[in-house]
Structure 1
């Protein structure tokens, strides 16, 4: 029987087919994947399975997630599609405040306004591309960690500037805390050693030095949070909604949270004397449909916040480091390595930090973390100090003018060495220079220095965790160097993977929100996200060659020790007791004399020391005698050299 169709049905059929075709024309990436360019020698381009049109038809309707990436110097907002591609973005920088050497502050209100600006502009760009803001179903947040914000719990107003993670003003407080009974047990509970980086010491400094903070503390109205907590609180409308939460990746950087329980630990709170006296945010999973509230205003008012991760954890998620033994390294000014160790925290025996990688459904996942002080800043040193080139990217061309480093080893210890060495008396040193050495050798040795330190950290991570590494995922500015990434693969003897889309930190927050909203249902669906077009650098030297190179590096590190040890007693400048520290006043920060409040820190207990028969006078005499002997020895050497020169004077005639 012949079927007959009315003109109306035929038109409807054709209209539906046109809509399907039009939808695919917007997404050419569904049909093909392009490489990042000509692969470097030793690397190849990663490929991912291609969606067929029929398969694409079966995917959910177009859903997007937004990602707030609040960093140390700038804020960004990116909108991602299901393929993990950013379809719109906006970035703004905000003021940095440096009242004194070693001090670094942010105005908390600047952080909020920068987020609001980025969201507004990115959504406008999104809509100008033909999309609707209604298609953005959830937001994720990733943020600079440890940076500390305090505000009045009753009014929601910040009490002073935020103290940034890199700020070192709390060193004196840290030194006192290290002498307190129980200090040695802290790292086994929270995963972190006492240092100026953690939020705890920054909070104690505020309590001891900022009157408004102390007043709120005494009234029981002091609210504490890291940047994620502050942003969520303000974006929800502040004290009216009072959404006061944090996620484990950020809470693990405060020294207040127990790594095992993911809850505040009373022994930690008692150690810092803040138990029951400071309002702390509730710790909730990193991906959650309701815990983080909704935007109260702006162009995306009503859109829920469903994900939150500290920046380094977010980069690990963005690199899809979901299995034990997977690791990522962010090559920026310095380097941050995160290594997935599974569902049990591992306390390092090799100078690494224990932290939370993420907490989605089920058990939390933990990580070991190691940092390198100098990476991209080493290249900047060649550019600005030695004037080897005008732009940082030229380091690659210069390093390629030689086949290898020519025996040169550059220990870039400009401020000591971080993990896993932790050598604070090392200085930047170059070994192996000969008359043959050229600029190219030093440039190559500079790149190798970062790669050697990365290998040292990865070796320590494998020893601590018991998990072998199969591939290192990389991002950050220095990862753009094909040469550096090839050197890295050669040294660690495993592949190095560099994604085509490098916004992995923002992608991690988008993944946290996307899993909660249902854009992706599980990790399996994320396997090929941002995989196509990336570069894989395969090792091309033997393990023996790699081991020999690394042994030379270790020898150089050992020889770089001790360059900043004092050989004479330091001059101590007497200051009037309780003299105020000169500071640059800001509109939101009030300062008082730097004096530790006795109610906040315990009385300093006497140090346990080895008995000695030397008093101060004896030590001074011994020091002078040693100096006298040293001077006499130098004079003898000079006299011997003088005699040698005189005996050979005929050579210069």
Structure 2
């Protein structure tokens, strides 16, 4: 059957519009970056209007450069940066810039609910944190002070609302499960938590299956006939689906600005005992699957820090040279807690630290420590997943920009003591949303799509004695940092 699917991958740094053909292959990609708004207090924001305009511009350019027959475009899928929170009025005008998932401005709000943290964890599967939208929403209500009716949504809801000309106010179950307002057992908004955070239930979108029809869009007249929006997933969930991690025990890590590490734990909810979140992988055709998840705030963002702030390197590719030239005996550790530590420590008070530097530690060694910090953080989360699930992790599927760094992938394999399989396909978040949309409209066959996947495998080589020394140095650094706060 001939046809195409467009996938929108709205991420922290940019909005991508990607065209997929009838076999699920990528035809073309168009990127539109948006501004990162960081004020003197360190608040991290995005302009939601800019994001929507970039979405329309990206799709417009995509259709122009591919010369695709617009009548053959069958569906739209959306993957999105998740916890980023938007607040707008009944006319569709944002009250303020979006509060980005990285932003820690709602820390004081979250602290007010510490007496309820166990109850919140039990209802939502999420540790109490300003990372999640519930605290961000409360902060917006108190600081923006809307005088009229208001709507809340994560970026998926905002895009669906705008793309359907304000006709559809919906979110999918995977995104809803990350708000800290979702009852993970009942599969709906929690009235108790809405009352606790003083967020009107009417200000929240309708929760839908991830493969439902979220409405129709013509991209503001670009298409002659509107197409359905299917396959809406949070970016990490979309990557899990795109990686083919559909079975219990399968694990993936998506490396972008931050990193999301997910383990599919099947159809039964489990509570983590190791500081991890339990979320929905997705809800498809009424069937819910769960994941253990750990998130780190600084993966690719560590490399961006080296480039933009420290001026140590001029591009991510330079990290390869630095790691090769670094003294292998150097013991420097970087703990990149620039906005606190997330999973599995959940401490917002600590700050970043270089640990174990000597007089001979230089640029190359500091760059190497920054690269290695990504692997150490992921390993912490993988160890927690193995313990919580009582399942050995034999393989971790990796994707995202930093997964191209061969030193990092080998180091991750060495530290995690497992095979790291890097997908040769890029854009796994966009792929997951596109595949789910294409399957939903009957364009794709699921089994055929996932039958042949290609990976580059990294197997651990570091002797146990050296592995123990390196991991112990990481844990020593963490202990020092936590002791200081």
Aligned equivalent of 1:479, options 403, 416, 430: 403
Could you report, residue by residue, the CA deviation over 1:133-175 in whole angstroms, capped at 9, with x for unpaired residues? 222111101111122223334x444333332223333232222
User: Cα distance, 1:310 vs. partner?
Assistant: 0.9
The answer to whether the aligner puts 1:229 opposite 2:157 as a matched pair is yes
Aligned equivalent of 1:203, options 134, 137, 145: 137
Cα distance in 2 between the residues matched to 1:335 and 1:474: 10
Could you report, residue by residue, the CA deviation over 1:514-540 in whole angstroms, capped at 9, with x for unpaired residues? 120122333x323245x23x3111223
The answer to whether the aligner puts 1:148 opposite 2:85 as a matched pair is yes
Name the residue aligned to 1:360: 284
Cα distance in 1 between the residues matched to 2:216 and 2:122: 33
Cα distance in 1 between the residues matched to 2:374 and 2:215: 38
Q: Is the 8 Å Cα contact of residues 9 and 429 (structure 2) preserved in structure 1?
A: yes
Aligned equivalent of 2:103, options 162, 167, 170: 167
User: Cα distance, 1:441 vs. partner?
Assistant: 4.4
Name the residue aligned to 1:470: 394
User: Cα distance, 1:281 vs. partner?
Assistant: 1.3
Name the residue aligned to 1:243: 168
Q: Is the 8 Å Cα contact of residues 411 and 430 (structure 1) preserved in structure 2?
A: yes
Q: Is the 8 Å Cα contact of residues 67 and 507 (structure 1) preserved in structure 2?
A: yes
Cα distance in 1 between the residues matched to 2:38 and 2:325: 40
Aligned equivalent of 2:118, options 184, 204, 207: 184
Q: Is the 8 Å Cα contact of residues 76 and 229 (structure 2) preserved in structure 1?
A: yes
Q: Secondary structure at the match of 2:483?
A: coil
Residues 88, 284 of structure 1: CA spacing in aligned structure 2 closer, same or farther, 3 A cutoff? same
Cα distance in 2 between the residues matched to 1:452 and 1:166: 20
Question: As a proportion of its length, which structure holds more strand?
Answer: 2
Residues 541, 100 of structure 1: CA spacing in aligned structure 2 closer, same or farther, 3 A cutoff? closer
Give the number of equivalent residue pairs: 482
User: Cα distance, 1:426 vs. partner?
Assistant: 5.7
TM-score by length of 1: 0.69
Residues 308, 560 of structure 1: CA spacing in aligned structure 2 closer, same or farther, 3 A cutoff? same
Q: Secondary structure at the match of 1:400?
A: helix
Could you report, residue by residue, the CA deviation over 1:329-377 in whole angstroms, capped at 9, with x for unpaired residues? 2223432212211112322221112211112234211112212343334
RMSD between aligned residues: 2.6
The answer to whether the aligner puts 1:105 opposite 2:33 as a matched pair is no
The answer to whether the aligner puts 1:254 opposite 2:182 as a matched pair is no
Cα distance in 2 between the residues matched to 1:134 and 1:169: 45
Structure 1 unmatched runs, 5+: 1-60, 566-653
User: Cα distance, 1:458 vs. partner?
Assistant: 0.1
Could you report, residue by residue, the CA deviation over 1:392-440 in whole angstroms, capped at 9, with x for unpaired residues? 31221222236x73151413244344322345436413326376x6654
Name the residue aligned to 1:270: 195
Aligned equivalent of 2:483, options 537, 562, 573: 562
Cα distance in 1 between the residues matched to 2:263 and 2:389: 9
Name the residue aligned to 1:418: 342
Kindly report which structure 2 residues correspond to 1:5-44, keeping only aligned pairs within 5 A, or say none.
Answer: none
User: Cα distance, 1:388 vs. partner?
Assistant: 4.8
Cα distance in 1 between the residues matched to 2:159 and 2:305: 35
Aligned equivalent of 2:448, options 525, 528, 538: 525
Name the residue aligned to 1:405: 328
Structure 2 unmatched runs, 5+: none
Q: Is the 8 Å Cα contact of residues 56 and 219 (structure 2) preserved in structure 1?
A: no
Aligned equivalent of 2:74, options 134, 137, 140: 137
